Chains A and B, each alone.
Chain A
Amino acid sequence: MNPKDYKYTKDHEWLCPEPDNKAKMGLANYAQSQLGDIVFLDLPQPGAQVEQFKKLGEVESVKAVSDIFSPVSGKVLEINQAAIDEPKLVNEDPYGAGWLVRLELSNAAELDALMDIDAYDKYEAEALAEGAD
């Protein structure tokens, strides 16, 4: 189940808004299930600036290396060292313990460009169906 308070990107990242223009982001369940067993995460250092929908880091699974895109622009406050040390957290708990980066948003209006739960559930269902036809 995708959490209902989160926002989502077309590349299957999530963003969980927090007070004071801060937010956590990670990979949606669809992304982790398509990637398969994740073995390595390459995340930006705290302090780094990221831009909405631009590359933020990389995720490597036993299948492939893929880019991670940032759901919003802003500054990296914190990265999830536990997930870096143990990338399977992202497979096991993508919306909780497997979060990736905490950000300070530079432009809250960018949230409007993200999908809410209803739009994302539909988008995910379409992606799954396309895989099945």
Chain B
Amino acid sequence: MKHHYLLPDISKPGRVGCTLPSLDVPEGSRPPEELLRQELELPEVSEVDLIRYFTALSKLNYGVDSGFYPLGSCTMKYNPKWHEDVAKLSGFAALHPWQPEEQVQGALRLMHELQEYLTEVTGMNATSLVPVAGAHGELAGLFMVKAYHQDRGHKGRTKILLTDSSHGTNPASVAMCGMETGVVASDDKGDLDLKSLDSMMNDEVAALTLTMPSTLGLFDPKIAEIARLVHERGGLLGGDGANLNALMGQAKLGELGFDYVQLNLHKTFSTPHGGGGPGSGPVCAMENLVEFLPTPLVAEEKGSYRFVAPTKSIGRIASFYGNFGVMVKAFAYARSLGPEELKRISEDAVLNANYLKEKLKPYYHLPYDRTCMHEVVFSGKKQKAKGVGTVDIAKRLLDYGLHPPTVYFPLIVSEALMTEPTETESKETLDEYIAAMKEIAGDAAENPDILHSAPHNTPVRRLDEAGAFRQLDVRWEMNGKKK
């Protein structure tokens, strides 16, 4: 199969991919010759060549529609195709953002109801759907924290505490918000170290941001104590909702003591992601932060809906209203399942992760051996001792037609393999993954070369990751010509 060619490689002068009907209106004037750029050398190909080109490219892709995708912390669950049909309904898809409110009552009602659902799931008081990605929702939350403290005259609270297992976006959002980070250590069970928090939680701290369950896939049983300590010292408790898939209908972040949380509709509420967007990262707030939410919210009065701005809103953080198409899919997901099924999703997600944990525990080191939530973090250090790195294990999985888990994260686990199966996988699929991982563990001990040289069956072999960093060159030159 020809994989490695680009359209200009098969271009022939004069070849066309479509035939236009004969002109039945007066011919207009053409742009002057001197404005036409010959150097663009646009490819000239036939329709069949074009179709084969894109079909070949599509076969190189791997997604949740192709197979198992246990990329920890990303919640790569299957996205029902029915959502796409709903989002494509012209009443949603053909709306113009400047249409007057009275013409878009259906869309506003959908947004309002989705706000209510998310508020209910998180046990909070209100939700803004505006943020367009998880990290964007995090940033919105931090702006709310900043506004909250400034509103109370506490200008000295400029520090955000994070844990040493945080997502990389957590410190990045803090920096974007112009605040400083402090890192709270984890204890030997993988939970937040209360002593470390106690020593750091002073009057410079604006908030502690926690992922719940943590990026180790663990539920911290001390959460009530943590929340109390943070609140007693005048701070807020922020939630990174990346791992909400473990908690729906099981525990409400508001009741656990969180003051706000950002969600990832593209993870938990099953809309396509992994290709860079579009996402949706709504931010939900408790009473103390509701008035700071990003604008607009949708309000309902006597059956009619309109946009409103919270009184002390941090303002607009995205154009218009956020990624509406993603909201439609999330709404479709919530409505088609209902509260009981959403609850079962979290139960199944947790069950699947624990099944993998128990089955693979004999073969891979498990740094925190306790019941996990929706994901389990193994360490490849048994294999590392034999010279096989986690990267080799991940590359070998590709030969089995499986997507690897997240590797080398969280940073507090050496040679980490962060595995999130999600609820949409059957026992048979999990067993297939377990069988592959067992074979790989066997090869690591007896036939390590097959791992060092993996992958063997993929369109491209092992990529030079260091070279890609050191000599980043993403600019394609026409016919290899250098300008």
Contact = CB atoms under 8 A, between A and B. Distances in A.
A132 B385 contact: yes
B381 A131 contact: yes
B385 A62 contact: no
Contact of A39 (B382, B384, B470): B470
A62 B411 contact: no
B5 interface: no
Contact of B385 (A37, A88, A131): A131
B470 A87 contact: yes
B89 interface: no
A17 B409 CA distance: 36
A132 B408 contact: no
Give chain A's interface residue range (CB within 8 Å of chain B): 10 to 19
Contacts of B391: 36
B448 to A, nearest CB: 15
A6 interface: no
A63 interface: yes
B408 A88 contact: no
Given A63-B408, A64-B408, A64-B411, A131 B384 contact: yes
A40 interface: yes
A62 B384 contact: no
B414 A88 contact: no
Contacts of B476: none
B39 interface: no
B98 interface: no
Contacts of A64: 408-409, 411
A63 B415 CA distance: 10
B33 interface: no
Contacts of B474: none
B470 A88 contact: yes
Contacts of B466: 36-39, 62, 88
Contacts of A40: 469
Interface of B: 381-382, 384-385, 389, 391, 408-409, 411, 414-415, 465-466, 469-470
Nearest first, the 4 A-B pairs at minimum CB distance are A37-B466, A132-B385, A39-B469, A63-B408
14 contacts: A34-B414, A37-B469, A39-B469, A60-B469, A62-B465, A62-B466, A63-B408, A64-B408, A64-B409, A64-B411, A88-B470, A131-B381, A131-B385, A132-B384
Given A64-B408, A88-B466, 18 more contacts: A34-B414, A37-B466, A37-B469, A38-B466, A39-B469, A39-B470, A40-B469, A60-B469, A62-B465, A62-B466, A62-B469, A63-B408, A86-B470, A131-B381, A131-B415, A132-B381, A132-B382, A133-B381
